[in-house]
């Protein structure tokens, strides 16, 4: 389970708040990539924080409310157009930087999930591989980002029914791929991703 060790080490060094950052949505065929930055209150950390992928939807929703009530949070995204323009990795890093920049309190240090940190950050940062399993702040950020993106995709599914986004969050499930073949590509699809690109190519020819 994640703990507060990395945050404590960083706070001992810089004596300022530490933010955890994570993103959700690298793999889907549609929708933006969403990142969250979270500064936890060391005296009021919700119980049960963990990697959002290991929690039920009901548990994520509960923790989302608890984190929102007790922590400083910021959510940002990189759009489908940005993903197609600069690639999904760079778009993910861009969303994480935007989330950090949006925090009401400027952290003195950032803990970033993954193996690299976004460029041009306003504070020093550390990349933490499998950070949502190791670091409470990153786990909290993963929950905030996951719930936010799932809600967004559910809302988009009402505008563009037939792709199953309310269930698959834009990932390339059988229902989604069948919807693509039957209904075609929407403005929310990532045309640089191979399954979407292939359908556009078939339509063109």
Residue 133, CB half-sphere, CA atoms under 13 Å: how many? 5
In a domain, 48, yes or no: yes
Cα–Cα distance, 205 to 196 (Å, whole number)? 14
Write out the residue range of the structural domain in which residue 76 sits. 5-159
In a domain, 181, yes or no: no
In a domain, 186, yes or no: no
pLDDT at 203: 64
pLDDT at 142: 98
Cα–Cα distance, 29 to 37 (Å, whole number)? 24
In a domain, 179, yes or no: no
In a domain, 140, yes or no: yes
In a domain, 172, yes or no: no
pTM of the model: 0.96
pLDDT at 205: 57
Domain count, the chain: 1
3-state secondary structure of 155: helix
In a domain, 133, yes or no: yes
> For the chain, percent helix, then strand, then coil, each to nearest 5?
50, 15, 35
In a domain, 45, yes or no: yes
CB atoms near residue 18 (< 10 Å): 27
Q: Which residues of the chain have pLDDT under 50?
A: none
pLDDT at 117: 98
86: domain CATH number is: 3.30.420.10
């Amino acid at each position: 389970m994640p703990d507060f060790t990395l945050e404590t080490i960083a706070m001992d060094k810089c004596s300022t708040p530490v933010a955890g950052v994570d993103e959700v949505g690298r793999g889907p065929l549609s929708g933006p990539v969403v990142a969250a930055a979270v500064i936890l209150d060391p005296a009021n950390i919700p119980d049960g924080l963990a990697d959002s992928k290991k929690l039920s939807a009901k548990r994520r929703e509960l923790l989302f409310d608890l984190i929102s009530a007790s922590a400083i949070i910021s959510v940002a995204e990189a759009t489908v157009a940005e993903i197609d323009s600069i690639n999904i990795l760079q778009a993910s890093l861009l969303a994480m930087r935007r989330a950090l920049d949006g925090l009401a309190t400027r952290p003195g240090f950032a803990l970033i999930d993954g193996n690299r940190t976004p460029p041009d950050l306003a504070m020093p940062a550390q990349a933490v591989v499998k950070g949502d399993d190791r670091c409470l702040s990153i786990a909290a950020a993963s929950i905030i980002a996951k719930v936010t993106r799932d809600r967004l995709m559910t809302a988009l599914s009402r505008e563009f029914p037939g792709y199953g986004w309310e269930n698959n969050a834009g990932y390339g499930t059988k229902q989604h791929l069948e919807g693509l073949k039957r209904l075609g590509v929407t403005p929310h699809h990532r045309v640089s991703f191979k399954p979407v690109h292939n359908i556009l190519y078939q339509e063109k020819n």
